[in-house]
Amino acid sequence: MSNQILTVDCGNTHIKLGVFRDQDLVTSFRLATDPQKTSDEYAVLIRSLLAGDHLAPERFSGAILASVVPPVQPLLERALEKVLGHPCALVDAGTRTGLRLDVAHPAEVGADLICLAVAAARSYPLPAIVVSFGTATAFLAVNHEPALVGAAIAPGILTAARSLSSSAAKLPQIELAQPKTALGRNTVEAMRAGLIFGFAGLVERVVGEMSREIGRRPTVVATGGLLNLISQATRVFDHYEPFLSLQGLRYLWEMRS
């Protein structure tokens, strides 16, 4: 029987789940992160998602979880154990990764960043820079050793858009979309131009500064649920991999044995 595992990446806004058979991601799901849900409610949702794809819980070898939301982590741990019948593996700064954390305080590195750095080191030519578009925009630099040598964190584009509309009385909440021009002719067009082109410029500058400090041209990888908003506004990326964190979880599962 193939080695089938469930990978779970719990972020501040969404929980991404991926089912791997050996090295292949066969399906993925997304749930809203909600600290008010109980472990039973999460278990019902996970069972329902698996059943929808005719995936029997008893055919899973196990699950591995990375979480950056402390109140939700134990809820997911209990839910996964209820669904699969045995405890899930957890990712933290003490997890064996094959990757050195060359930063001032390794224990502060989030589980999500560890997964991304491991996946980049295993999947792409090094050095590499990963840009993850989520609630925050995170930049990770991985050198040739491989080692995670630094990071930069900026607001996510949706986070910035919501802050803008909530802080300025005359600026509405808008649906983000690719602007046709930088010369916005109305409020919505002006906000889209500023946010999309502004974030593209932010990405290019941070990647450029990291590349200069690394000293070699890196492979630049974009990931995260919001990457499509920026990908058309810049040519800085070499690769697009929306499920990079799930790939990292698969690698970390394999390293356990």
Taking only the tens place, the pLDDT of each residue in 163-210 is: 999 999 899 999 999 999 999 999 999 999 999 999 999 999 999 999
**Domain ranges across the chain:** 4-90, 100-248
d(C-alpha 222, C-alpha 208), whole Å:
15
DSSP 59: G
Closest Cα to residue 250, out of 137, 138, 91, 101? Answer: 91
Q: Both tokens of residue 94?
A: 């003490």
pLDDT at 1: 44
User: What confidence tier does 2 reach under pLDDT thresholds 50, 70, 90?
Assistant: low
Q: Are the folds of 4-90 and 100-248 the same?
A: yes
Residues known to be catalytic: 112
Contact yes or no for 135/11 (Cβ under 8 A): yes
On average, the pLDDT of the chain sits at 94
pLDDT at 257: 64
Q: Both tokens of residue 214?
A: 């690394």
- Tracing tokens 């791997």 back to the chain, one arrives at 20
Which ranges of the chain does DSSP label H, i.e. alpha helix?
Answer: 39-52, 73-84, 111-123, 157-167, 187-214, 227-231, 244-255
Q: Mean pLDDT throughout 33-41?
A: 97
Q: Mean pLDDT throughout 222-248?
A: 92
Q: What is the pTM of this model?
A: 0.93
pLDDT at 21: 95
Fold of 4-90: Nucleotidyltransferase; domain 5 (3.30.420)
d(C-alpha 178, C-alpha 233), whole Å:
8
Domain 100-248 has CATH 3.30.390.10: no
Per-residue pLDDT of 129-170, as tens digits, reads 999 999 999 999 999 999 999 999 999 999 999 999 999 989
